[in-house]
Amino acid sequence: MEVKRTSLDTLCAALCHACGIEPPKQAHPANEALTAYVDQALDGKKADRLFMYNPDAIAQWVFEKYPQLMKEATARTELAVPFETVMPSVTPVCFGTMYTGAQPEVHGIKAYVKPVIRIDTIFDAMLRAGKKCAIVSTTGDSLSFIYLERDMDYFILDTVEEINAKAAQLILEDKYDFILVYNANYDAVMHKFGPESLEALSELRANSEAYAMFDALIREHWSKHNVLMGFAMDHGCHEIDGGCGSHGLDMPEDLNIVHLYKAYKAEE
């Protein structure tokens, strides 16, 4: 099925629809392709577990040019959703929109700064519904700051390896309704060596493999739950002079991204 590209501000309400909760107050209307998919995949029921894997800076053009490096993730995908991210296409701005459903001028982050977002968010919506949330992210990165000061759990660690090990532990514990896992490795290496460097593409493959690992754990340990899981980056990237990588511009390479989703029905 051909899915129309929509703004990233349509994601938050769609995730809330999937979980059967009211979206944040300033969220834009839900992405129709994702809501329709979840309704069909879960037979009209709601997901009681949401797992969002957030790699950084994997552009649609990279995803399409190197499909063999993404095969672990795409093999675990039933719906690919093309999004246009927001401007400026930098991490705190984009993740601010992803989990509020609001444009930057509304959520308040309009540059590469990392203040705590004060408007209503998906985390506030989850908490109002009595759900338990966790963010697993790296020291110093945007997702370790912009959603602080909520009654939820934050696991801020130094390396991607530590993050993924902690996320795996949380899946096994099966006590969180919403787990967000951030991996900065592709973005970090891409900035230094370029989006298509061997070093960056190795991290792209690592992101795909990490997602496959989480998928396997979820299928085994969350089998009694209706689950929605997503491979959901914030923005794209492009090469600049000197062979380095960058993002933040109003151009397709930076704005166009594709999220990958799959829902699992609870075992009877």
Per-residue pLDDT at 67: 97
Evaluate if residue 130 carries a pLDDT over 70: yes
Q: Which residue has tokens 């991490």? A: 91
Domain boundaries defined on the chain: 6-264
* Confidence class for position 4, pLDDT limits 50, 70, 90: confident
Sequence-distant (≥ 6) Cβ neighbours of residue 43 within 8 angstroms: 265
- pLDDT at residue 242 tops 90: no
What phi, psi does 87 have (nearest 5°)? -110, 145
Q: Give the model's confidence band at 241: pLDDT under 50 very low, under 70 low, under 90 confident, else very high.
A: confident
For residues 26 and 8, give the distance between their C-alpha atoms in angstroms, rounded to a whole number.
Answer: 14
- How many beta carbons lie within 10 A of that of residue 240, not counting itself? 14
Does this model's pTM top 0.85? My answer is yes
pLDDT attached to residue 37: 98
3-state secondary structure of 131: coil
Cβ of 202: how many Cβ atoms within 10 Å? Answer: 13
Q: What is the pLDDT of residues 24-73, one digit of tens each?
A: 999 999 999 999 999 999 999 999 999 999 999 999 999 999 999 999 99
19 within 8 A of 50, measured Cβ to Cβ: yes
SS3 state of residue 267: coil
Report residue 235's pLDDT band, with 50, 70 and 90 as the boundaries: very high
pLDDT band at 1 (very low <50, low <70, confident <90, very high): low
DSSP string over 148-176: -SSSSEEEEESSHHHHHHHHHHHHHHT--
Helix crossing, 11-19 with 91-98: angle to 10°?
40
Q: Kindly list the distances between the CA atom of residue 244 and the CA atoms of 191, 197, 201, in Å, as whole numbers in the listed order.
A: 5, 9, 13
Q: Average pLDDT in the 224-237 region?
A: 98
Residue 247 has pLDDT above 60, yes or no: yes
Q: Which CATH class is domain 6-264?
A: alpha beta
Mean pLDDT of all residues belonging to the chain: 97
As given in the structure block, the two tokens for residue 41 are 């995949």
